[in-house]
């Protein structure tokens, strides 16, 4: 498995990050309950968790921003370490995730792994004046 190069949050050093298609194991119900109990049924901001609207579990920092340990085939800190997973309401998670995605996209751009290249647009030429009919 080939790893990728990640940029640390302070943009100082490049480190080996998790492989591109790597995914952590799923959290068990017991682990999810332990996270919610540890947080006292509230988000880190103090808002009450609302299971009817949906509770989602967020890795903080994002998995793609963590260092990779080739010996354990896991991230540093480990991907399922409960101290680095936070229960959030669905709307709150929807606000946080795009921020993580922008940081991950920036890392990919710096690594040259985007696969997309912006094409230069041609400068439009001036149209020729239209000929008027009836005059020769």
**Count of other CB atoms within 10 angstroms of residue 75:** 25
Q: Which regions in the chain score pLDDT beneath 70?
A: 1-15, 111-119, 134-136
Q: In terms of pTM, does the model score above 0.85?
A: no
Is the C-alpha dihedral spanning 65, 68, 73, 77 positive or negative? Answer: negative
Q: Is 7 helix (H, G, I), strand (E, B) or coil?
A: strand
Q: What is the pLDDT of residues 46-61, one digit of tens each?
A: 999 998 889 999 998 8
pLDDT recorded at residue 21:
83
Q: Is 109 helix (H, G, I), strand (E, B) or coil?
A: helix
Q: Do the beta carbons of residue 109 and residue 102 sit within 8 Å?
A: no
The DSSP code for 48 is B
- As given in the structure block, the two tokens for residue 14 are 């490049």
pLDDT recorded at residue 42:
95
pLDDT recorded at residue 78:
93
């Amino acid at each position: 498995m080939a790893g990728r190069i990640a940029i640390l949050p302070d943009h100082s050093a490049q480190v080996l990050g998790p492989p591109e298609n790597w995914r952590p194991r799923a959290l068990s119900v017991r682990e999810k309950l332990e996270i919610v109990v540890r947080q006292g049924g509230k988000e880190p901001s103090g808002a009450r968790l609302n299971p009817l609207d949906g509770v989602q579990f967020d890795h903080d920092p994002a998995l793609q921003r963590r260092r990779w340990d080739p010996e354990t085939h896991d991230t540093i800190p480990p991907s399922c370490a409960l101290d680095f997973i936070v229960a959030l309401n669905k709307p709150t998670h929807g606000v946080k995730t795009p921020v993580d995605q922008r940081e991950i996209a920036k890392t990919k751009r710096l690594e040259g792994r985007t696969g997309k290249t912006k094409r230069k647009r041609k400068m439009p030429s001036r149209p020729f004046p239209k000929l008027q009919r009836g005059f020769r």
